[in-house]
Amino acid sequence: MNTKFAAALTGLTMAVTLFSTGGAAAYNAVGNFAAFERVTHTAALTPLSMQYFCAKHRNECAGGGSSKVTMSSNLLAVLKQVNGHVNRSIRPQRDNVDSWELNPTSGDCEDYVLSKRSALVRNGVSAGALRIAYTHTRRGEPHAVLVVRTSEGDLVLDNLTDSIKTLRASGYNIRSMSSPNPSRWTAG
């Protein structure tokens, strides 16, 4: 069998399988919207730039540890210190090519997030409690923030402010987020 034909047939088979499974999930959820909602929130593609970053910096992409950290005044102090330091250390600059970097002199929101995540892990915060999240700014622009899962709720570290806010107070609606393992992502 021709390799191009085999590859096309495999792709077509996968597409049919995905669409038929999605239809079945939607059909089974008639009258049970909560069940359908769980199905739609389970999968998201890991951003390609994150995949490249992790291939280059495997140690920075390790998960593990507790998926929540205990909220304390010490933790809040570390979060404030790291958020402020990274916000001052990186000059805002849009990427021409979406390349995620660790501790650059200039960069965009993903560079801030990766730098904050790295600094917090070095300061003893569980990697499993740190989530990279995609949202939109109030102006509708795509934006990334670092979410810290704590015993008292999710906190947001954002390069647009030095204030640490709860997810609710931030006003952000999360579109996709890394799991405790940053190479796996979920929707919404």
101-150 confidence digits (pLDDT tens): 899 999 999 999 999 999 999 999 999 999 999 999 989 999 999 999 99
Three-state SS for 165?
strand
Q: Cα(102)–Cα(114) distance, rounded to whole angstroms?
A: 6
Q: Cα(80)–Cα(158) distance, rounded to whole angstroms?
A: 11
Task: Read off the pLDDT of residues 77-109 as tens digits, 9 standing for 90 and up.
Answer: 999 999 999 999 999 998 777 788 899 999 999
pLDDT number for residue 188: 73
- Two tokens at 14? 């996968």
| CATH class of the region 48-187 | alpha beta
On whether the pTM is more than 0.85, the answer is no
Helix axes 33-40, 3-28, angle to 10 degrees: 150
Q: Give the residue extent of every domain in the chain.
A: 3-40, 48-187
* Residue 66 CA from chain centroid, whole number: 17
When computed from its CA atoms, the radius of gyration of the chain, rounded to whole angstroms, is 19
The helix (H) or strand (E) run that includes residue 158 is strand 153-158
